[in-house]
Amino acid sequence: MKKGRYREAIKSFKAAMKCDSKLEQDCKSKIKECEEKLKPAPKSTPAPAIEVTRLAITPDSVRFGYETTKAEYIKVDSAPEEWTATSDSNWCKVIPHGKNLSVSCEINQLTSERKATVTISNGKMEETVKVVQSGQKEFINIALDKLEFGSKGEIKELPIKTNTEWEVINIPSWCEVIAKDSDKLILKVGKTKKAKEGTLILKTKGGEISSAILSQKKGGIF
């Protein structure tokens, strides 16, 4: 029933009450029902908006060679759309590009593998990317194939080229190491009347080998 009809019905019930007192109680009840119908409907409270939160990344790990500087890209699906990325290592660089994250590395000058963690956050959730970069292959080279000493005894320097730690694993008994640095050996021999020859062998911690011939000229009467 429309509101206008409820108002007309109220008028009719009031008129009926005046005409017949016996109908008063019934009319009052009907009038009350009509008045309730005329009241404005209560405003409905809108349901609270549901906040959708998500953060997904693909892939969650990347690997680089020791000299690889080309970037790898991580796909980021985030709600809210705004997100940030940070790296826990200076050699690992991160740059956001829309829905992608660029990850790149500086050249690894070490022989050991190194690792970094990149954290992606949208303020509600966090995800991490594991970054691994391989180390350089170990190498060691003695600068000379052969080092010769005089018969009267000498001290000589032998240059070493390497990128890792190393040790002397073989040297002739008549030759002495008097100093060792990362890039050289200082060797000493005494006087001799006989010609001598032997092999010097160096080894890195990873097992790489380099060798050189050590010799000493035959001497006369001292």
* CATH classification code of 140-216: 2.60.40.10
Separation of alpha carbons 183 and 111, rounded Å: 16
2-15 mean pLDDT: 62
What are the DSSP calls for 84-114, one per residue? EEEESSTTEEEEEETTEEEEEE----SSS-E
Each domain of the chain, given as residue ranges in start order, spans 3-38, 54-133, 140-216
Beta-strand ranges (E) seen in 19-172 are 54-58, 61-64, 72-79, 84-87, 92-97, 100-105, 114-121, 126-133, 140-142, 146-149, 154-162, 166-170
pLDDT digits over 150-207, tens only?
999 999 999 999 999 999 999 999 999 999 999 999 999 999 999 999 999 999 988 9
List, for residues 132-152, the tens digit of each pLDDT value: 999 999 999 999 999 999 999
Count of residues for the chain? Answer: 222
List 92's β-bridge partners, or say none.
Answer: 105
Edge-to-edge, what's the strand order for the sheet holding 92-97? 54-58, 72-79, 100-105, 92-97
Task: Determine the pLDDT at residue 17.
Answer: 60
- Quick check: 6 pLDDT over 60? no
Is the pLDDT at 221 greater than 70, yes or no?
no
The pLDDT of residue 18: 61
Read off the pLDDT band of 79 (50, 70, 90).
Answer: very high
d(CA 196, CA 151): 9
CA dist 2 and 145 (Å) reads 112
Protein fold of 54-133: Immunoglobulin-like (2.60.40)
DSSP state of 198: E
